[in-house]
Amino acid sequence: MGAAGVVGGYIVDRLARAGEHPIALSRSPRFTPGVDWVVGDLEKPDALRFPSFATLYCTVDAILLPPALPHLFNPSLKRAVVFSSTSVMTKLQSEIAEEREMLNNLAAAEQKIIAACAQNNVAWTILRPTLIYAEGRDLNITPLSELIRRFGFMPLVGGAPGLRQPVHAEDLAIGAIAAASSPTAANKIYSLPGGETLTYHEMIGRIFDGLRLPRRTVSVPAWLWRTTFVAAKPLFPDANVAMGIRMMKDMAFDPNPAIQDFGWNPRSFHPVFAPRSNPQSANP
């Protein structure tokens, strides 16, 4: 589930290269050698039709999975590896009502998945990554890089001392496959942070470095961020006021259980972004 996404794509690719035969779900027809693509929509589970499979990987929004599980369980299924988010531990009390609702629904979905798997004698593993990135493709780090490209600087609320652990999508795919084959990882929940803990300020600095641009940041007091956010909103259309305030908050998690149980070993954070192409002017 989620094979056309960033993490799911890496999982499918690694399984196929390892000689496995992945069955991948997509809303539209696709063709990849060694991959059996099935056209379907997780939001319309009654129409899903799969051959038997032994391991379920779900990298889409886990809220969508519980209603579909009755259509996915089969006698061959032994393990479900489901991606959730560390946000269920850090943002349940968000001042943004939509965030609170979404994350409460996600936490409830985790429990429904656990209960359904237990009832059907399927071992489960829930993985909670932190900030997922894959240069040019993700919805966390790449949008920040686009803002930096556009404006040449980045405002940081309160100096942005909060700790972060960005994790690469390919490392998550490697970790998911390792967890699926680890008996020790059965019926457990893991945080999957990246290989380095750094301040939000330094994380932004590394993005500047990956763009080959000089680091230019401006520290903004929290009160000023709140006061001016409405006016600045058009410049940051996908942001909310809480995102800026969270730059001051630590969001760091313990990787040791995942290290011990399935060899979690993610890379440090040194993103490299492709230079933006400058199309040549058309000949008159």
**Percent of the chain surpassing pLDDT 70:** 91
pLDDT in tens, 58-71: 999 999 999 999 99
Q: Which residues contact 69 (CB under 8 A, 6 or more apart)?
A: 113, 116, 117, 120
For the chain, what is the mean pLDDT? 90
From CA 181, how far away is CA 179, in angstroms rounded? 5
Token pair, residue 111, equals 């429990």
Q: Which domains does the chain have, with CATH numbers?
A: 6-262 (3.40.50.720)
From CA 196, how far away is CA 164, in angstroms rounded? 8
Q: Give the pTM.
A: 0.91
SS3 at position 207: helix
pLDDT in tens, 136-160: 999 999 999 999 999 999 999 999 9
What's at 85, amino acid-wise? S
On whether the CB atoms of residues 124 and 186 are closer than 8 A, the answer is yes
Res 142: pLDDT: 95
Decide if pLDDT at 10 tops 90: yes
Res 279: pLDDT: 41
Compute the average pLDDT of residues 127-140: 95
